[in-house]
Amino acid sequence: MPAKTTVSKSSVIIRSLGYVLIVDDEEYNRTLLRDPLEALGHEVEEAANGMEAFHKIAVRLPDVILLDLMMPRMDGFEVCRRIRANAQTAHIPILMITALSERGDRLLGIQAGANDFLNKPIDLQDVILRVGNAMYAKHLRDQLQAEQEKSERLLLNILPKPIAERMKKGETNIADSHPDVTVLVADLVGFTSLTAHIEPAQVVLLLNEIFSAFDVLVGNYGLEKIKTMGEAYMVAGGIFNQRTDHVEACADLAIDLRHEMERFNRQNDTSIRLRIGISTGPVVSGVIGRQKFAYDVWGETVNLACRMEATAKVGRIQISGSAYQRLREIYEFDERQDAGTGRQSDPPAYWLGSRIGSPVAVETHAAVVD
């Protein structure tokens, strides 16, 4: 057996350290490759054949694979093709080890997905440098992937997922018409007076806690948070999902938002309450801006939901006539003669009460005198 070759760490530039999988049916070859790589600080695993390699890859993804070409039962070409065919492993650099020097064989290796080649007999200096380069490229790719995922998460925090996907494909002028959408607007009553008595950091902390809890409820109902406007919170249903009961979902959400506010008050010894308005009808949606872009909805349905909120009694849920028509057989209501704006064109408005047949009333529905 030839004497083991040692490589000084100072003789090479170590760009990145990582996990290397050596796949070779000959133990001597695996040892010859493993020892200098471990001496440099790489973590090394061995596999004697393709199937053993797949088992190890399933447990942990390597940063680099050193793959022998000539192996029994399943050669390196087939192993390489299978690794490339799997989306979870397709990005792993593969250095194919071969004694073949024929141009056609190397082309077959490239076609199978090999990134580079190591020639037999093994030149350890060549191995170390090529593994280092492959490791460095893999780590750069991982960093880029992590940044892309971070950017996508940030984008999804700003835009609904379907809109974000359209923007990623290059669409710039996004505007859509929706014939049947429910808009809910909730406003925190009493929060402004609270901010005058606490530190700014506490203001932001409390508001974030309230709206984050709202976000969870909105997600549970499959509705879409549109935006916050100071102390107001806007939700829409019927834009992206196919559920036809978005009016009912918004009504249930409104009641849950009020319950969440009551829980928050008990926990924080506060007295913040909600005014909520709901309306149903057509809206236009789209993305505005270029640097600080935002997704928003417009139309009379939105305006009416805002008026329902603005003229609602504190602690109550006021809905428009269009929403009432869809909910009148599900909930109890009190009719209000107008939306409180003095406009004769305003349709009737209603106070949302408890569900019909509910054992515990969630809202008193005695007539309100304006």
Q: Which own/partner pairs from 215-220 qualify as long-range (CB within 8 Å, at least 24 positions apart)? A: 217/253, 217/256, 217/257, 217/260, 218/253
User: Residues 147, 102: one domain?
Assistant: yes
User: In CATH, what number is assigned to the domain containing residue 334?
Assistant: 3.30.70.1230
Kindly tell me the burial class for residue 344, based on how many C-beta atoms sit within 10 Å of its own C-beta (0-12, 13-18, 19 or more).
exposed
Residue 293: the pLDDT is 80
User: Residues 214, 345: one domain?
Assistant: yes
Number of domains in the chain: 2
Residue 102: the pLDDT is 65
Phi, psi dihedral angles at 61 (to 5 degrees): -80, 125
Choose one of 156, 185, 216: the last residue of a domain.
156
Beta bridge pairs of residue 294: 288
Q: Please name the residues in contact with 88: beta carbons below 8 A apart, sequence gap of 6 or more.
A: 61
The count of other CB atoms within 10 Å of the CB of residue 286 is 15
Closest CA to 24 of 79, 61, 101, 63: 79
Residue 174: the pLDDT is 86
Find the radius of gyration of the CA atoms of the chain: 32
User: Residues 297, 236: one domain?
Assistant: yes
Q: Please name the residues in contact with 129: beta carbons below 8 A apart, sequence gap of 6 or more.
A: 12
Written as six digits, the tokens of 180 are 């049947």
User: Residues 224, 347: one domain?
Assistant: yes
The count of other CB atoms within 10 Å of the CB of residue 163 is 23
User: Residues 135, 193: one domain?
Assistant: no
User: Residues 81, 187: one domain?
Assistant: no
Phi, psi dihedral angles at 299 (to 5 degrees): 130, 170
User: Residues 131, 203: one domain?
Assistant: no
Find out whether the peptide bond into 121 is cis, omega within 30 degrees of 0.
yes
Residue recorded with tokens 């003095």: 342
The residue segments making up the domain with residue 280 are 160-355
User: Residues 76, 182: one domain?
Assistant: no
User: Residues 231, 108: one domain?
Assistant: no
Written as six digits, the tokens of 184 are 């809910």
**Domain contains 241:** yes
User: In CATH, what number is assigned to the domain containing residue 55?
Assistant: 3.40.50.2300
Choose one of 156, 191, 222: the last residue of a domain.
156
Per run of 10 residues, the mean pLDDT along the chain (length 370 residues) is 42 65 93 92 93 94 92 90 93 87 76 87 87 88 86 79 83 88 96 86 92 95 92 93 87 96 93 95 89 87 95 93 92 68 64 77 38
Helix (H) or strand (E) holding 228: strand 224-229
Report the b/e string of 323-333 with b at 16+ CB within 10 A.
bbebbeeebbb
Choose one of 109, 141, 156: the last residue of a domain.
156
User: Residues 148, 166: one domain?
Assistant: no
User: Residues 221, 167: one domain?
Assistant: yes
Residue 15: the pLDDT is 53
- What's the pTM value of the predicted model, to 2 decimals? 0.65
**Domain contains 300:** yes
Residue 294: the pLDDT is 85
**Domain contains 3:** no
Q: How far apart are the first and last CA of the chain?
A: 100
Q: What is the largest CA-CA distance in the chain?
A: 100
User: Residues 328, 343: one domain?
Assistant: yes
Residue 81: the pLDDT is 93
State how far the Cα of 4 lies from the Cα of 20, in Å rounded to an integer: 20
**Domain contains 6:** no
Contact between residue 215 and residue 157 where contact means Cβ atoms under 8 Å apart: no
Contact between residue 66 and residue 131 where contact means Cβ atoms under 8 Å apart: yes
Helix (H) or strand (E) holding 277: strand 273-288
**Domain contains 28:** yes
